[in-house]
């Protein structure tokens, strides 16, 4: 450990720490707009400047290494004036529409202006004018609100390995855009929304469907069904200032009914259904010499990534639709028939932690006979806004249970929200399908945790099954390159587009950190630990669905409703 002096007191640092890391660990808050935890410093915003004894100029703390005996000052007049000036310069070219901005109250630029006492405009001139890009079904870009911090570029390139956006132009004419400055809809963007999560302003937001959903809820001729993803119930509480990881499943169900939804279903039900189909598909591929490794197909950003960057792996993708789309397909077929409802009058709304789900539901493959499986997708953030608009106090409401049959789930379906959850649920059921016996220990520890790449070897009835789990498309790219080069021999690969899985999706609450993501993950594991039915093939309602309607996994009806296909995409890069 190293010791150095900060504002007259001593602080400890680890060898190799930057000043910013050491200061924050020591409880000293230093503002920054460009820094991203876990990535090398860029030093772009200069908001984290400090005075270092012996240095002729102010030093950006995010990129300055700590040395023994260093003397640092973080709150001198010179430092505070420099930070305030940076904020004032950024505001001089920023729209004055905070009251109407989607990030109002959750904007870092707004917060720092408040913290630094910026109360008047000192710098004038003509502001940069650029049109918003609304071409994507998932993401809206407003270049006028961009402060060129570079976070979105870095997460897209360095974490996700997509590089859909980058800096264009030079000097004062620089801006962030796509290849050839086209719309996001024709770029290599996979709609994951990680750029939204890291953006400090309102330059990137989700393409909201709130108005359409509210309009549908008020239409007496429509039957509006809502489903909620596994990760939403352990995240929604954060939208109301409550601690991360609190499970508000029952309260959320009750609140959705008060909003006006006619039926409330749990997407974890069709996660169980997915395991039945996907597990059967894996077993069939292994037994018949099918294309291996089989790749999961639950994450729509990942699917688009394969279609664009690794089309030779399209045959490896499971043909199963995602749990979201399976629910929509079942609702508009089996449910509509059972309830004697015209499918044209049924509206299926999804509450998802993911912006890519908005893209997924708009895919033509997901609209057989021009009737979409799912009509609208709201993110966790949008659901919080919907509850606030309707004046719902989430914590004072009495919990209720979801509607049968599609509200009944196992904990195996619930852990789909965490990276490794799909694989863990699949291994539990695949073991049963291959041996006719349950696993002795249903907890598969090697598949759990926040690590970006995990592997598992399990012996099932004499067959050694090799599986891998990756989250974050940058990690997926590395693994696929190894498989393509023949360096990895695997049977099954689970890929989640977002680091950590759906619990860290692009539609989750803003301003959270890794501790919050871990708390969400642990909440899902706690649910799995405490519940009685932990395997998808023991979901009685799923089994009844097969008996009464679908027939059998991979059968004619299930294949027609629950499976799809994918094709190579051309990318402008």
The HSE-up count of residue 173 (CA atoms within 13 Å, CB side) is: 2
Distance between CA 536 and CA 164 in Å, rounded? 37
The C-alpha atoms of residue 14 and residue 233 are separated, in whole angstroms, by 38
Can you tell me the distance from the alpha carbon of 553 to that of 562, in angstroms, rounded to the nearest whole number?
10
Of the residues 298, 348, 361, 498, only one is catalytic, namely 298
278 is catalytic: yes
Cα–Cα dist 235/58, whole Å? 40
Is 37 annotated as catalytic?
no
Helices (H), 401-555: 411-414, 421-435, 473-484, 514-530, 540-545
- Three-state DSSP at 38 gives coil
Q: Which of 189, 502, 536, 558 is catalytic?
A: 502
Residue 1, exposed/middle/buried by CB under 10 A (0-12, 13-18, 19+)? exposed
Phi-psi region at 203: left, alpha or beta (left = phi > 0; alpha = psi -120 to 50): alpha
Alpha helices in 289-322 (DSSP H): 300-309
51, 238, 360, 494: the active-site residue: 360
Tokens read off for 440: 């002795």
In degrees and rounded to multiples of 5, residue 133 shows phi and psi of: -100, 110
C-beta neighbour count of 558 within 10 angstroms: 24
Catalytic (active site) residue 348: no
**Active-site residue identified among 365, 438, 451, 488:** 365
Among this protein's residues, is 34 annotated catalytic? no
Cis peptide leading into 290, omega within 30 of 0? no
Q: How far apart are CA 383 and CA 252, in angstroms?
A: 10
Tokens at 529, concatenated: 């630990």
Catalytic residue among 144, 239, 277, 281: 281
Is the CA virtual torsion 44, 47, 52, 58 positive or negative?
Answer: positive
Distance CA 258, CA 243 (A): 24
Annotated catalytic residue, options 278, 308, 382, 400: 278
The DSSP bridge partners found for residue 4 are 11
Q: Which of 317, 313, 275, 274 is nearest to 295 (CA)?
A: 317
Of 61, 136, 318, 350, the catalytic one is 318
List of residues 6+ apart from 564 with CB closer than 8 A: 319, 321, 325, 365, 366
Please pick, among 84, 304, 332, 357, the residue that the annotation labels catalytic: 357
Active site residue 357: yes
Q: Quick check: is 298 catalytic?
A: yes
Which residue's structure tokens are 């994507």?
136
Are the beta carbons of 473 and 190 closer than 8 angstroms?
yes
Active-site residue set: 278, 281, 298, 318, 357, 360, 365, 502
């Amino acid at each position: 450990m190293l010791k150095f002096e900060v504002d007259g007191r001593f602080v400890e640092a680890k060898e190799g720490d930057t000043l910013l890391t050491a200061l924050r660990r020591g409880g000293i808050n230093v503002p920054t707009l460009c820094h991203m935890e876990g990535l090398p410093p860029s030093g772009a915003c200069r908001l984290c400047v400090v005075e270092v004894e012996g240095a002729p100029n102010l030093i950006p703390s995010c990129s300055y290494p700590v040395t023994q005996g260093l003397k640092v000052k973080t709150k001198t007049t010179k430092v505070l004036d420099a930070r305030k000036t940076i904020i004032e310069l950024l505001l001089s070219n920023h729209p004055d529409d905070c009251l109407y901005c989607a990030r109002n109250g959750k904007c870092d630029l707004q917060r720092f202006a408040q913290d630094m006492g910026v109360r008047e405009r000192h710098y004038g001139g003509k502001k940069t004018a650029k049109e918003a890009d609304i071409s994507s079904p998932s993401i809206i870009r407003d270049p006028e609100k961009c402060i060129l911090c570079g976070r979105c570029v870095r997460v897209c390139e360095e974490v996700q390995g997509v590089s859909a956006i980058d800096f264009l132009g030079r000097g004062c004419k620089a801006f962030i855009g796509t290849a050839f400055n086209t719309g996001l809809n024709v770029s290599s963007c996979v709609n994951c929304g990680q750029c939204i999560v890291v953006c400090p302003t309102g330059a990137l937001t989700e393409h909201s469907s709130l108005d359409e959903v509210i309009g549908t809820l008020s239409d007496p001729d429509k039957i509006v069904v809502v489903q909620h993803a596994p990760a939403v119930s352990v995240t929604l509480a954060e939208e109301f200032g409550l601690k991360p990881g609190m499970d508000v499943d029952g309260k959320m169900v009750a609140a959705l009914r008060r909003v006006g939804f006619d039926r409330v279903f749990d997407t974890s039900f069709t996660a169980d259904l997915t395991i039945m189909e996907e597990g059967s598909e894996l077993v069939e591929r292994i037994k018949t010499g099918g294309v291996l490794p089989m790749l999961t197909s639950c994450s729509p950003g990942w699917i688009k990534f394969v279609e664009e960057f690794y089309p030779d792996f399209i045959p490896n993708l499971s043909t199963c639709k995602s749990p979201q789309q399976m629910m929509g397909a079942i609702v508009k077929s089996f449910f509509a028939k059972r309830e004697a409802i015209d499918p044209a009058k049924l509206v299926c709304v999804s509450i998802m932690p993911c912006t890519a789900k908005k893209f997924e539901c708009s895919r033509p493959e997901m609209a057989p006979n021009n009737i979409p499986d799912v009509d609208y997708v709201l993110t966790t953030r949008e659901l919080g806004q919907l509850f606030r608009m309707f004046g719902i106090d989430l914590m004072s409401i009495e919990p209720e249970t979801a509607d049968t049959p599609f509200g009944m789930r196992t904990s195996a379906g619930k852990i789909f929200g965490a990276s490794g959850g799909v694989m863990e649920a699949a291994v539990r059921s695949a073991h049963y399908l291959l041996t006719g016996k349950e696993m002795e220990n249903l907890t598969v520890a090697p598949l759990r945790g926040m690590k970006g790449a995990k592997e598992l070897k399990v012996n099932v009835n004499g067959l050694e099954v090799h599986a891998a789990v990756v989250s974050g498309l940058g990690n997926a790219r590395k693994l696929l390159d190894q498989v393509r080069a023949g360096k990895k021999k695997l049977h099954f690969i689970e890929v989640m587009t977002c680091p950590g899985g759906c619990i860290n999706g692009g539609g989750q609450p803003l301003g959270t950190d890794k501790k919050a993501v871990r708390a969400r993950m642990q909440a899902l594991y706690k649910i799995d630990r405490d519940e009685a039915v932990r395997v998808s093939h023991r979901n009685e309602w799923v089994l009844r669905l097969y008996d009464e309607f679908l027939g059998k996994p991979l059968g004619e009806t299930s294949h027609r409703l629950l499976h799809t296909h994918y094709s190579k995409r051309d990318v402008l890069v």
